[in-house]
Structure 1
Amino acid sequence: MPALEAHEIYRFFHVGDDETAALRGVSLRLSRGETVAVVGPSGSGKSTLLACLTGLDEPDGGYVEVAGTRLSRRPETERAGLRAAHFGILLQAGNLFPHLTVQQNIRLQMLLAGKPDRRRVGELLDSLGLLVRADAFPIELSGGETARAGLGVALAADPLILVADEPTAEIDRFAETQLIDHFETRRRKGLATLIATHSDALARHADRIVRLRDGKVDND
């Protein structure tokens, strides 16, 4: 059974009488222990695809299954429960609650997934170079620290599926190397990782690359 599977996903956006096809029949399969990179030019549909795959957005056609369970067109409470149980999600922004410290944000994600682990909080903070910033609030962090803290939240519950949207956008080369190490660790543990990225270095470490163009998988 695949960790994640999308069947013929369509997503349309409307502005007045104009319709834009953001996704046009995208199918994708993510196996356990596999790292897949989704690449393509800006506007190709990468972020929209990730939103549909995680149940943060609903496709207009097709459906998504996570660990064999239908995610699409379910009540939001069911989708939220499936997200908490199976996904770690790193978006381009909005990964941290501003009124919580870095370590509180990580602990909250563990609690939502039903996997509280005080020792893992410290291990994650250490591996991400954030031990000295554990009690800092998001507003006190630099751009790179904010990106790493968001990754800590996404990794908090050691999820079956990590979905990351441009995870290297705000980090330096050293932090990118650390990020790749985390993905390699997940692969060895049989966990799946899906990354939308413009980084050639990140894409080269993936098991497979899915190329999007104009909302479709580009097989050329």
Structure 2
Amino acid sequence: MKLPLFIPIIFLLLFSISPTCAHFFPNITSIPHSLIPNTTIWEAFNQLLGCYNGQKVDGLTKLKKYLQYFSYLNFFYSNFSDDFDDYLESAIKTYQLNFNLNAIGELDEQTLKHIVQPRCGNADIVNGTSTMNSGKQPGTHSSNSTIHTVAHYEFFPGKPRWQESKTELTYAFLPENHLSKNVKSLFGRAFERWSEVMPLTFTETTSYSRGIFLVVEVEEQ
């Protein structure tokens, strides 16, 4: 007996359990001054553009502190000078790999632009393991790095393929979550955005035969 293929997707809305254990920086100006390379974006990063291992450039000290805050530099790292050393090169490479940038270990324009974007304040490296690494390529990591990487996906048994004819999808919410209309509308708008860029349609349903099951969980962020 063949069962219809449903690809369940679980959405985790991450709510902070403790307001002191997580931070979100809405823009570069809200990040503590001790964590950003300088007080203004362009003045600071124009002088860091193109920096590479072996150079000494004013502003690298604060960049090191920024990278250490997000655990790209080890907690015990203490060489907070303006010297571009092997550890900084390795940290930058890991950062570039995590955000699918060109992992050259130098401060190119795309890397600097990405650093100043709004982001979550939690570390990207936990216990020496990268939680991201979307752009990891074999053999590109620095020999000085002690960062390990993990994959956050796996195939279903048999590696089933998506049916090209399956373009009309339905989704349902876990009843026990008792989500408000406002919260549900957020998902609806997100699905609408998806439909704008891919040939899929999404319709909310209460049926157990839904294609996508949305669950709200409380996690630390």
TM-score per shorter chain, which class?
under 0.3
Q: Determine which structure has the larger helix proportion and give its number.
A: 1
TM-score in terms of structure 2 length:
0.28
TM-score in terms of structure 1 length:
0.28
Q: Determine which structure has the larger strand proportion and give its number.
A: 1
